[in-house]
């Protein structure tokens, strides 16, 4: 049951970066290393921030902040697509 519930979320959250790297590579290949570096940095900071938010404000607050981050990224991709 856990796999059935989490797989769609994993795919939805895991696809934007590879798709974005592919789009950036087509338009501006020299920026791809920067994309990897920014992704790595924000992944580390995001996990630390999630732990801190969970401890201080609870898991619900951490989930809401995470959802807002993903919605912000989606909004930015819709407003200003690479193609």
* pLDDT at residue 77, rounded to an integer: 82
Element (H, E) at 78: helix 59-79
Mean pLDDT of 10-19: 86
Total length of the chain: 83
Whether the per-residue pLDDT at 83 is higher than 80: the answer is no
* CA-based radius of gyration for the chain: 15
Once rounded to an integer, what is the mean pLDDT over residues 21-40?
Answer: 93
Q: Residue 10 falls within a domain, yes or no?
A: no
Count the domains in the chain: 1
Q: Would you state the structure tokens that stand for residue 22, as one six-digit string?
A: 């592919």
pLDDT tens, residue by residue, 59-79: 999 999 999 998 998 898 888
Within-domain flag for 9: no
- The domain of 73 spans 17-79
53 and 65 Cβ atoms separated by less than 8 Å: yes
- Residue 37: inside a domain: yes
pLDDT of amino acid 29:
94
If you search the block for the tokens 């501006």, which residue do you land on? 28
């Amino acid at each position: 049951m856990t796999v059935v519930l989490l797989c769609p979320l994993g795919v939805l959250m895991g696809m934007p970066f590879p798709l974005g790297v592919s789009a950036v590579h087509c338009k501006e290949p020299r920026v791809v290393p920067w994309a990897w570096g920014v992704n790595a940095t924000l992944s580390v900071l995001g996990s630390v921030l999630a732990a801190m938010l969970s401890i201080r404000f609870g898991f619900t607050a951490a989930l809401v902040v995470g959802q807002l981050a993903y919605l912000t990224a989606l909004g930015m991709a819709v407003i200003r697509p690479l193609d």
